[in-house]
Structure formats: structure tokens, C-alpha cells
Amino acid sequence: MNNQKVTRSAKADDVQHEWFIVSARGVPLGRLASKVAHVLRGKHKPTYTPHVDTGDFVIITDAAEVIVTGNKATQKIYYRHSGYPGGLKAESFKHYVERAPEKLVREAVEGMLTHNVLGRQQLRKLKVYAGSEHPHQAQQPRPLEL
């Protein structure tokens, strides 16, 4: 008798990608980003394979209404640098979410994915919108519980 257990690796051609939708209204940024990164990587599926993109598409709506806890709205600072001397720019969370809420949420999720080719491929499956409208009704997205 052969009682050996076999580990199956998913093949890129066999993966079925689903579509999920989640509203960021009133949800803490870190919790939203970690759950979305989990789904983008495919870790919620029993067929998860670390070196294959088994994740699903995620649509985030209401990105302009994402929150942070405590005093982080005024105290959390985002930095960027142009590469030139004196090119350091600083911006608080409050101003960043007013200026570019889609970019803010995308960067939070991006920081929780792997920093390689596979992570960039998974990030392409993320769609972020500041309001509640999105052009992906044809994909019939299912709600994602946080």
C-alpha cells in the first residue's frame, strides 16, 4: 500500500481568479490593507502556492473615507524624495487622503505584498476608487468580509 501524502502545486494556467469588492468606509487602513493583500496573494484558498499567482481581483471603493485610529490623522507623516538636494517632501495622513486617496490605499496594500515580480503582478489585480462607483459591474464581484 502507498500511504504517501502528495503536495500539489498550483499551475498558473489552472488558477481561477474571482472578483471581490470591499468598501473602505470607516475601516482602519492597516486592517483593510492586510486583508486585501491576503486575498491578492491567494492565501485564502486551499490551492495557495507561494511561487504562483493564485490570488483574486479586489475592488476597493470609498477609499477617501478610510480611517486611522488615534491621533494618526494629524501625526502620521508620509515622506517622498525627488532625488534632488532639498527634495524631501512631507505630508500628513489627513492631507494625503484628501489629495490622493487611491494612491494612499494602493501604497498601504503594496507594502504588504512581496517586493518582487510576483508582488507586482498581484498588485495589478487591485482596483481602487475614491468614491462608491466603479466600472467592474460586468465581472459580478462578490462582497469581501473584513
pTM of the predicted protein model = 0.92
Give CA separation, 97 vs 2, 37, 49, 67, 118, in Å: 58, 20, 34, 9, 28
Report all structural domains of the chain as residue ranges with CATH numbers, in order of start.
Answer: 18-68+100-143 (3.90.1180.10)
pLDDT in tens, the chain (146 residues): 567 888 888 898 999 999 999 999 999 999 999 999 999 999 999 999 999 999 999 999 999 999 999 999 999 999 999 999 999 999 999 999 999 999 999 999 999 999 999 999 999 999 999 999 999 999 999 999 98
Pinpoint the alpha helices (H) of the chain: 29-41, 72-75, 93-99, 101-110, 117-123
- Nearest Cα neighbor of 18 from 129, 128, 130, 125 is 125
